[in-house]
Amino acid sequence: MNTAGLHFRAATAADVGAIVALTESAYRGDASRAGWTTEADLLDGQRTDTREVAGLIARPGSVILLAERGSVHDGTAPRELLACCHVEKQGDACYFGMFSVRPDGQGAGIGRALLAEAERHARDTWHCRAMRMTVIDVRSELIAWYQRRGYRRTGEYRPFPYGDPRFGIPKRDDLRFEWLVKEL
């Protein structure tokens, strides 16, 4: 896969099922092992569900951005969902999360392109000065990927919500989130 022909748009309620399926395939279970960003060795259970995704789409100051290939205007097949992310305005910064790239498309630049679009949206649409996110701190390869894109580790941590199956079922007892930030 390459990034030629990528289209970005905001998700609608009609996209909820496809977003849930994509996110689950990118983070959990054997399907996620085809990519390099899997959490299958860290967590079991769900990553998200239809209720959460629908709520994020409906929430003011919140958008789920989609990266798709194909065009509904050229008479070919419908657009194919390749990646998604959630961006939410929080004061003068935006929170970036639920970043999911189809496992067989990871490493092809699709995620990098969607991250750049999310940063553009935060800066140009909501006039945010920074993008913030949390990453499970034992995911050093993923943190390094974000650092190559200008994010810096803050040394601020948030505990992992052990006991809340909405966030997955941990396979380890040393999980926590670290805040990363990038000035826009």
pLDDT in tens, 86-135: 999 999 999 999 999 998 888 899 999 999 999 999 999 999 999 999 99
Query: Could you identify the residue written with the tokens 């009609």?
Result: 14
E strands, 15-129, in order: 43-44, 62-69, 80-90, 93-101
Domain range summary for the chain, segments of one domain joined by +: 6-130
pLDDT of residue 118: 98
Q: pLDDT tens digits, residue range 5-24?
A: 899 999 999 999 999 999 98
Q: Which of 77, 76, 82, 27 is nearest to 49 (CA)?
A: 27
pLDDT of residue 3: 63
Distance CA 101, CA 105 (A): 7
Average pLDDT, the chain: 90
Assess contact for 71 and 6: CB atoms under 8 A. no
Q: Where are the alpha helices (DSSP H) in 7-126?
A: 16-27, 50-58, 110-120
CB atoms within 10 A of CB 90: 13
Q: pLDDT at residue 78 above 70?
A: no
Question: Where does 6-130 sit in CATH, by number?
Answer: 3.40.630.30
